[in-house]
Amino acid sequence: MPRGSDATDISANSRSIDTLTESLLLASRVLVAVAARSIAESADDVTLPQYRALFVLSSRGPQTVGSLAVSLSVHPSTATRLCDRLVAKRLVLRKSTPDNRREVCVSLAARGKRLVDDVTERRREDIAAIVQRIPNEARVKVVDALRAFAAAADEVPELGLSGFTSLV
């Protein structure tokens, strides 16, 4: 089979996909571990569902209990109870809106915002500590490709990741 033929290209193509997939599978375990640790260490008294709620509020802004329930894919009453606990911990604020007095607006309290920031910062530090160990040449090469990866993920709507991206 001559070099540069279609068959060779396709084969090389799928080989590069498989190889990169395996690399990402491996890197994925590391990054999940880093993410888990950032929450466990910086948000000691907060459960994973609770952190998810804080993260949703941080990234999508204040919203009603109902839309929070949709974001988290839980029953509205579950969101109410979740907010009960977060209010008790002074991590979120519950405030009835004047324009529609049925709806209740939930927003991050100062402590909640700080907590999410701390978790993100902790994670950034952990990742930076790992990145420092990567040789310079390899480091420079990977940046664009990783951006391409994150961008490509958005282009696969059928994966239905939207329900999971607000996880950590």
Partner DNA sequence: TACAATTAGTGTAGTCATACATATATAAAC
Partner DNA sequence: GTTTATATATGTATGACTACACTAATTGTA
Which residues bind to a copy of itself, rule: CB under 8 A? 13, 16-37, 40, 48, 120, 123-124, 126-136, 138-150, 152-153, 155-156, 159-161, 163-165, 167-168
> Between residues 82 and 119, which has the closer beta carbon with respect to DNA?
82
Number of residues that bind DNA (CB under 7 A): 27
Count of Cβ atoms closer than 10 Å to residue 140 Cβ:
10
d(CA 104, CA 20) in angstroms, rounded, equals 46
Please enumerate in sequence order all residues whose Cβ is within 8 A of that of 96, keeping only pairs 6 or more positions apart, or say none: 103, 104, 105
The residues that bridge with 15 in the sheet, in sequence order, are: none
Q: Please, which residue, 110 or 134, has the CB nearer to a copy of itself?
A: 134
When asked if residue 72 is in the footprint of DNA (CB under 7 A), the reply is yes
Q: Could you say whether residue 81 binds DNA (CB under 7 A)? A: yes
Nearest CA to 106 out of 139, 71, 130, 141 is that of 71
User: What is the binding site for DNA (CB under 7 A)?
Assistant: 47-50, 64-66, 69, 72, 74-78, 80-85, 94, 99-104
